[in-house]
């Protein structure tokens, strides 16, 4: 599907801190710096990949973009409207245009509801139809995600993980959204099922003109499905570029370390590949390092890294990085 030059989603200086309460009076004693000053754009028809280690803030970015978690500060523009400033019924009306596919297909479906009720609920909630009219749309959605329409009367516990994730996808596209956040939609699935789900997402994108924010750990899968990729580390964006440019010419030391860990199927190339091993552990987001957050594990670090936050800058057209030595 062709990608338009118009940004559908614009994230500007997004910040999300979660307060930590303690003491007898339960006063705020600290904050988890989940997301700090993240900016990017997603164009209509594009799949934007977001990668990084567990706990780096990827899922929080996805949830905050959709306003499931309200941002501490920053702006999230969707079709030109700043969602961070919209509340109540006005935000509820906007939600029809964006949805989410969750990571865990076992906990994201209500075990007390049938498939008909799970998929039909958003259509009824947004006034697309009444309950007595949902049977035909639900059957068509099940066919779209390659499931038997007769499954509509069953409950989630009767399905495999891959089938449950397809039900979750059917629920996400039920109200005809423009934008879907895919929060690690394949990480909980068997390897044999992952490719099927990704192929289904690509087919739906082509058919329904969808735009994706695809959050994942699997760098090989992200390269397969994404047009552009952003790399996060400890709440901040480290690098962002076109997919092939990022994988062939990574500028940030953290991106280089991540890509060095991607398995190489060609044994000759695998023997030549140099693995970059990072020292130490990821610092706590409650008390992140000063300056560059990657400095405690970076092989290139020096004094300036602890004193100054690296500037988020465009080194070549479309290739952004935050590093003093990129």
∠ CA 272-274-278, nearest 5°, is 165
Per-residue pLDDT at 163: 95
Q: pLDDT value at position 3?
A: 75
Q: Is 157 helix (H, G, I), strand (E, B) or coil?
A: helix
Segments of the chain scoring below 50 in pLDDT: none
Q: What is the pTM of this model?
A: 0.93
Quick one: which of 263, 275, 252, 249 has its CA closest to 218? 263
**What is the bridge-based pairing of β-strands 73-78 and 7-22?**
antiparallel
pLDDT of residue 192: 84
- The token pair at 56 is 């780096």
pLDDT number for residue 113: 96
- Residue in the block written with tokens 């988890």: 32
Please report the pLDDT score of residue 272 as a whole number.
Answer: 67
- Looking up tokens 């030109």 gives 80
State residue 274's pLDDT score: 76
**Residue of 169, 177, 112 whose CA lies nearest to 144:** 169
pLDDT of residue 23: 86
């Amino acid at each position: 599907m062709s990608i338009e030059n118009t940004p559908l989603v614009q994230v500007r200086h997004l910040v999300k801190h979660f307060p930590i309460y303690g003491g007898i009076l339960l006063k705020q004693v600290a904050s988890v710096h989940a997301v700090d000053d993240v900016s990017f754009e997603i164009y209509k028809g594009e799949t934007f990949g977001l990668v990084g280690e567990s706990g780096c803030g990827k899922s929080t970015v996805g949830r905050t973009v959709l306003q499931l978690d309200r941002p501490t500060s920053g702006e999230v523009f969707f079709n030109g409207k700043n969602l961070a400033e919209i509340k109540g019924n006005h935000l509820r009306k906007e939600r029809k245009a964006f949805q989410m596919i969750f990571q865990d297909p076992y906990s994201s479906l209500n075990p007390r509801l049938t498939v008909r009720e799970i998929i039909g609920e958003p259509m009824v909630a947004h006034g697309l139809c009444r309950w007595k009219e949902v049977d035909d749309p639900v059957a068509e959605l099940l066919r779209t995600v390659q499931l038997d329409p007769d499954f509509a009367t069953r409950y989630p516990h009767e399905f495999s993980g891959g089938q449950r994730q397809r039900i979750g996808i059917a629920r996400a596209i039920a109200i005809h959204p423009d934008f879907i956040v895919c929060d690690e939609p394949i990480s909980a699935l068997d390897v044999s099922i992952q490719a099927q789900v990704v192929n289904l997402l690509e087919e739906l994108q082509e058919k329904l003109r969808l735009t994706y924010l695809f959050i994942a750990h699997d760098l090989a899968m992200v390269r397969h499905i994404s047009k552009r990729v952003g790399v996060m580390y400890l709440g901040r964006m480290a690098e962002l570029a076109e997919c092939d440019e990022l994988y062939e010419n990574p500028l940030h030391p953290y991106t280089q370390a991540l890509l060095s860990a991607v398995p190489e199927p060609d044994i000759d190339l695998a023997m030549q590949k140099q693995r970059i091993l990072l020292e130490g552990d990821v610092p706590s987001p409650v008390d992140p390092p000063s300056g560059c957050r990657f400095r405690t594990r970076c092989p290139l670090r020096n004094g300036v890294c602890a004193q100054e936050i690296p500037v988020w800058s465009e080194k070549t057209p479309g290739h952004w990085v935050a590093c003093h030595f990129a």
